[in-house]
Amino acid sequence: MTLIPLPAFSDNYVWMLHDGREALVVDPGDAAPVLQALQQEDLELRSILVTHHHADHTGGIHTLRDTTGAQVWGPARESIPAPYQPLAQGQQLTCLGLSFEVLDVPGHTAGHIAFYSADIEGAPLLFCGDTLFSAGCGRLFEGTPEQMEDSLRRLAMLPAATRVCCTHEYTLSNLRFALAVDPDNTDLLAYQAHCQALRDRGLPTLPSSIDLERRINPFLRASAPPILAALHAFDAAGLAHDGAFATLRRWKNEYR
């Protein structure tokens, strides 16, 4: 299996997984890069997986479905371009001979889902949309801080080797905030240097891994002592009233 992040718009990725003959894609906001990759690699698109309803994740569905006849799978609790097979927590689907488990991960949107496969060429694979980013998490457009914190907690419990395939190249921006919150984290400092070198060469910083995110992502470590200390300095009253995760997310919203 070959895993490819196809750049779209200014900072999106459409993830493509293929076996040399057939392919699936995740969150195709733009059909053009997918059609180009299919032609270049001489692939047949069989499946389209969708994590949530935002246009930068769904805008290419009609074109791709009409052009290729691919089956579309998406969140049961959200509206995406029909027809599609609705999915919710605990359901399984098979694409390219691979089994994917559906996870409900509300927060960014109310019905956001993720797709998890336990073993693809020796490592688990997670397509998590805009729930978990490297060193960050999605904004709360429809869900609550409690929902997002629970969604991230469950993703963080996946095997350490799980590859995290999120759909935006936000890593360097997220790392700047993470270092403001947790400046003495040596793993963060090393990862920032690594990611900057990748971006300087025009390469993606993704996929990340669950192991790495457990060590460097402040939204998976909101109750860690150094982060609690930073949150107390940022807004002690808000921390006492809203809790660590909600205060951290508000700080990120305001951070420039």
56, 104, 112, 182: the active-site residue: 56
Is 52 known to be catalytic?
Answer: yes
Distance between CA atoms of residues 251 and 247, nearest Å: 6
Q: Are strands 113-120 and 123-129 parallel, antiparallel or unpaired?
A: antiparallel
18, 27, 30, 52: the active-site residue: 52
30, 54, 112, 182: the active-site residue: 54
Is 241 known to be catalytic?
Answer: no
236-245 long-range contacts, Cβ below 8 Å, gap at least 24?
A: 242/145, 243/145, 245/145, 245/146, 245/148, 245/149, 245/219
Q: Within 13 Å and on the Cβ side, how many CA atoms surround 231? A: 26
Is 57 known to be catalytic?
Answer: yes
Hey, how many other C-beta atoms are within 10 angstroms of the C-beta on 159? 14
Is 194 known to be catalytic?
Answer: no
Is 108 known to be catalytic?
Answer: yes
18, 57, 112, 182: the active-site residue: 57
18, 53, 108, 112: the active-site residue: 108
The catalytic site residues sit at 52, 54, 56-57, 108, 130, 168
